[in-house]
Chains A and B, each alone.
Chain A
Amino acid sequence: DTGVSQNPRHKITKRGQNVTFRCDPISEHNRLYWYRQTLGQGPEFLTYFQNEAQLEKSRLLSDRFSAERPKGSFSTLEIQRTEQGDSAMYLCASSSLQGSSPLHFGNGTRLTVT
């Protein structure tokens, strides 16, 4: 069990560019979540997958954001036409299908939009 892995750890981009982040969950976990966290705040839910199906999306997830989990393993989160307000830590978490399973987080991708 190597834990949840996220890449890159830090991304600096110019406003208007597209960025993509990757998350590799714990291998036996079927559920995968994306959260966004800004300074001084707790993680805010963006979306979650069960296997390859995206089952829920937050209203925070504007049409510039898209997430995929094509084979039910790793996931990508893409932000198109980035804005300065997108600067945040993007956290990925996974859990098993067991009803009471908690979330296990990766160390996040810190996005800075200049």
Chain B
Amino acid sequence: QKEVEQDPGPLSVPEGAIVSLNCTYSNSAFQYFMWYRQYSRKGPELLMYTYSSGNKEDGRFTAQVDKSSKYISLFIRDSQPSDSATYLCASRRGQNFVFGPGTRLSVLP
């Protein structure tokens, strides 16, 4: 079992839709949680970084962490074609960052 799991998709939604991306992790020692966005042939770009259970909002993006169920979500409101990318969730334990395989998202105009 991988330490961080994601549904690889692809996920296709129409422009303006609310997108929900989900991730689970298996190690209770993970303390910090991140979402990265990766465009084709580019490096991952940090979107959200959170420590505690609950919600963190930044513009159209909301990250949600539930440590009791080891579940991480990213919500994108009013999705745009420019949001089409692969979304990676990651968890951190000390200096060890572990990434999920990513979910490929397409937002159709």
Q: Is the CB of A56 within 8 A of B95?
A: yes
With contact pairs A42-B4, A110-B41 given, residues A103 and B101 touching in the complex (Cβ less than 8 Å): no
Q: Does B49 contact A (CB under 8 A)?
A: yes
Looking at the complex, which one of A40, A56, A91 makes contact with B44 (CB distance below 8 Å)?
Answer: A91
Q: Mark A45-71, 1 if CB is under 8 A from B, else 0.
A: 100100000011000000000000000
Which of B34, B42, B43, B100 is in CB contact (< 8 Å) with A102? B34
Report the Cα distance A40→B98, complex, angstroms. Answer: 15
Q: Which B residues lie within 8 Å of A106 (CB)?
A: 43
CA gap between A41 and B95 in the complex, in Å: 21
The reply on A2 being an interface residue by CB < 8 A is no
A108 interfacial by beta-carbon distance below 8 Å = yes
Q: A91-B44, A102-B32, A108-B42 are in contact. List 18 more A-B contacts (CB 8 A).
A: A33-B97, A35-B99, A41-B101, A41-B102, A42-B90, A42-B99, A42-B100, A42-B102, A43-B88, A44-B99, A45-B98, A55-B95, A102-B34, A103-B90, A103-B97, A104-B46, A105-B45, A107-B42
The residues in B between 22 and 41 inclusive whose CB is less than 8 angstroms from any CB of A are 32, 34, 36, 41
Total B residues in contact with A, Cβ cutoff 8 Å: 24
Q: A residues engaging B (CB < 8 A)?
A: 4, 6, 31, 33, 35, 40-45, 48, 55-56, 91, 93, 100, 102-108, 110
Residues of B within 8 A of A (CB): 4, 8, 32, 34, 36, 41-46, 49, 51, 88, 90, 92, 95-102
What is the minimal beta-carbon distance from B100 to any residue of chain A, in angstroms? Answer: 5
Most buried by B among A42, A44, A45, A110: A42
Q: Which residue of B lies closest to A104 (CB)?
A: B46
